[in-house]
Amino acid sequence: MAKIIVYSTSTCPYCVMAKDWLKQKKVEFEDVNVGIDQARAKEMIQKSGQMGVPVIDLDGEIIIGFDRPKIETTLKKKKLI
């Protein structure tokens, strides 16, 4: 099964929007709060080169921000929706 990780913080409105959208699409994902988990924050930076959130890892493909068209295209390409 594909692994989807949403790197987020509790104060990020775009993170909430991204996670809500994935839930609406019934896409399972791991929610990682990088505001409290420094090791996972470093992992996110290594994967994406970014310190801002959300960063979404769609089974190895990194998407920066809540880019709904790109997320949807990638999910369809990987047959996750």
User: What gap in Å lies between CA 22 and CA 38, rounded to an integer?
Assistant: 24
Q: What percent of the chain has a predicted confidence (pLDDT) above 70?
A: 99
User: What gap in Å lies between CA 28 and CA 47, rounded to an integer?
Assistant: 20
What is the pLDDT at residue 81? 86
CATH number of 4-77: 3.40.30.10
Domain extent listing, the chain: 4-77
User: What gap in Å lies between CA 50 and CA 73, rounded to an integer?
Assistant: 22
> What are residue 69's phi and psi, to 5 degrees?
-60, -40
At residue 12, the 3 state secondary structure works out as: coil
Answering whether pTM is above 0.75, one says yes
Please name the residue that has the structure tokens 């090791």.
Answer: 39
Please say whether the dihedral angle defined by the alpha carbons of residues 36, 42, 44 and 48, taken in this order, is positive or negative.
positive
What is the pLDDT at residue 2? 73
> How confident is the model over 50-59, as pLDDT tens digits?
999 999 999 9
At residue 56, the 3 state secondary structure works out as: strand
